[in-house]
Structure 1
Amino acid sequence: MKPNRSRDRGAAAVEFALLLPMLLFIVFVLADLGWVFNQQLAVTSASREAVRYYTVHHSDTDPVAEAAARATAETRAKDLIPEPTTVTFAWTACSNVPGAEASVVVKKPITDLTGLVVALAGSTKLSATGTMRCGG
């Protein structure tokens, strides 16, 4: 007997049409997560760079130099973050105590490519803390 191929025609197209949305969803989610992970790495690098610059260039005696070191550190950190967004810094300054540490917390709102991560995470911010011993 000859198989009836007329009933099988189009089955592959129907299966493809059913699976395509799920495959595209997975691809876009992976792209979004990669994008957010890249942003987290940028925030981590920015916090490390900011605290490194600050601990090397700060001044315990001159408040103007202290403020200038913080401002320059924040500018250098913002240059490492890919998008112009609101970046916040929270500093713990160096003190005159030997072995003191300075730290900075850098926070940035999550941005993504498709809106899926923002829809799930809400107003969550990416955050990283950089800590370094004062004096370089």
Structure 2
Amino acid sequence: MARPLSGERGASAVEFALIVPLLIVLVLGIAEFGHAFQVQGTLSAAAREGVRVMALQNDPAAARVAVQNAASSLRPAVTNAQVLIPVTCPASGGPTNVRVTIDYRMPYLTGFFGAGVQLSGTGVMRCNG
């Protein structure tokens, strides 16, 4: 019959205490990465909507409204200053491309890894469809 070792009574509790912080950091990292991935997808879709409006209507104000409508689920919301439209479509001439870029500072959900991360979404389309 085996005797229980009295010197190893608390060993599993100590091992558990050493592993739990690592597991918590891992779970929080997975949650933050998933959130950032979702926000990046939203930014890309919003940039596509904005560039589509810009290519068809050539109206930066309407493109910004389209971006804000497409990214309405983001908190904090996308502002006009975060939507960059460097060039507009020419009135005449050959086909050129128009670009809409959204620079967005995404705050972390937990704040455990810092304040946030800078994300961007870009859309490019030929003018006049």
- Alignment TM class, shorter chain as reference: 0.7 to 0.9
Q: What is the letter of the counterpart of residue 70 of structure 1?
A: A
* Contact 2:50–2:64 (Cα < 8 Å) also in 1: no
Correspondence for 1:132: 125
Amino acid at match of 2:34: G
Residue of structure 2 equivalent to 1:107: 103
Across the aligned residues of Structure 1 and Structure 2, the Cα RMSD in angstroms comes to: 2.3
Give the total of aligned pairs.
125
Would the aligned equivalents of 2:54 and 2:60 in 1 still touch at CA under 8 Å?
A: no
Does 1:4 find its partner at 2:9?
no
What is the percentage of aligned positions where both structures have the same residue? Answer: 34
Q: Could you say if the C-alpha distance between residues 44 and 67 of structure 1 is closer, same or farther in structure 2, counting changes exceeding 3 Å?
A: closer
Cα 1:84–1:2 shift into 2, 3 Å:
closer
Distance change >3 Å, CA 8–CA 135, structure 1 → 2: same
Q: Which runs of 4+ in 1 moved over 6 A?
A: none
Q: What runs of 5+ residues in structure 1 fail to find an aligned partner?
A: 59-65
- Cα displacement string for residues 7-30 of structure 1 (whole angstroms, at most 9, x for unaligned residues): 332322221111111111111112
Question: CA separation of 1:67/1:49 partners in 2, compared to 1, >3 Å: closer, same or farther?
Answer: closer
The farther-off stretch of 28-37 and 3-12 is 3-12
Alignment check: 8 A CA contact 1:50 1:104 kept: yes
Compute the TM-score of the two structures, normalised by the length of structure 2.
Answer: 0.80
Higher mean displacement: 92-101 or 66-75: 66-75
